[in-house]
Amino acid sequence: MIHSLIHPARWLATFCALFALLILSGCDVTNDDRPDPNMTASSLSRYNFSAEGIQEFYVDGVWGSGVGIGSGGGSVCCVMIPSKWHEGLQVTVEWRRSDCGGVNENNHSKCAGMKGDWPMKILKKTVPIEPYDVLDETQVFFLPNDEIKIYVTNKSPWHADHPSKLLSKLGDIDQQPFTDAEMKRFMEP
């Protein structure tokens, strides 16, 4: 006689019930890990018009590299932004920059020649993304006075159709730290 605890029919029924529970637990419809269909990956580039070197920065937690004084371009992948721009769209930018007091008369950092670690400043700001029609590269502009502008475009900052209107506001300037007068003209609508 077979003991009732090890009877094959009882063992099979228990196994089927446990197997069904295991399969059904994987069907939790409240746990939706699919990406938001309204968000799209955008490459992330940077331009530094400030008088301090940007050691590294993050946009919504995504690392964007560093950028020297008066330089920029290049890109890393990727920050997620909405496929379509909407009112109130913003991102959080965190960055670590030198804190050397700007540049000398040759547009070189006043940190040049310092021995040891350069003074640093860590900043964090939530900034709006300027309106865009077509999703493309996300460009971060580091400006004097720790101002930041974010543009989404496939145009170089010096292109006549760039949304910043850099060319029409400042003319054909080299990439360099903005003077106070250039910054004022750039920030005008």
pLDDT at 138 over 80: yes
Longest dimension (CA), the chain: 101
% of the chain surpassing 90 pLDDT: 42
- Mean pLDDT throughout 32-50? 86
Does residue 6 sit within a domain?
no
- Mean pLDDT throughout 163-183? 78
Does residue 44 sit within a domain?
yes
Locate tokens 């950028």: which residue? 67
Taking CA 183 as the corner, what is the angle to CA 134 and CA 63, rounded to the nearest 5 degrees? Answer: 50
Beta pairing class for 120-128 and 90-98 = antiparallel
Q: Which pLDDT belongs to residue 31?
A: 53
Q: Which pLDDT belongs to residue 88?
A: 96
CB 124 within 8 A of CB 146: no
Identify the weakest region by mean pLDDT among 27-41, 81-95, 136-150. Answer: 27-41
Would the pTM of this model clear 0.85, i.e. be above it?
A: no
Does residue 22 sit within a domain?
no
Does residue 70 sit within a domain?
yes
Range of the domain at 149: 39-187
Q: How confident is the model at residue 151 (pLDDT cuts 50, 70, 90)?
A: very high
Does residue 21 sit within a domain?
no
Strand partners, 151: 139
Q: Which pLDDT belongs to residue 17?
A: 64
Does residue 10 sit within a domain?
no
Does residue 105 sit within a domain?
yes
How many domains does the chain divide into? 1
Locate tokens 């529970």: which residue? 21
Structure confidence by residue, pLDDT tens digits, 88-114: 999 999 999 988 877 777 766 777 777
First-last CA distance in the chain: 93
Does residue 28 sit within a domain?
no
167 vs 53: CA distance, rounded Å:
23
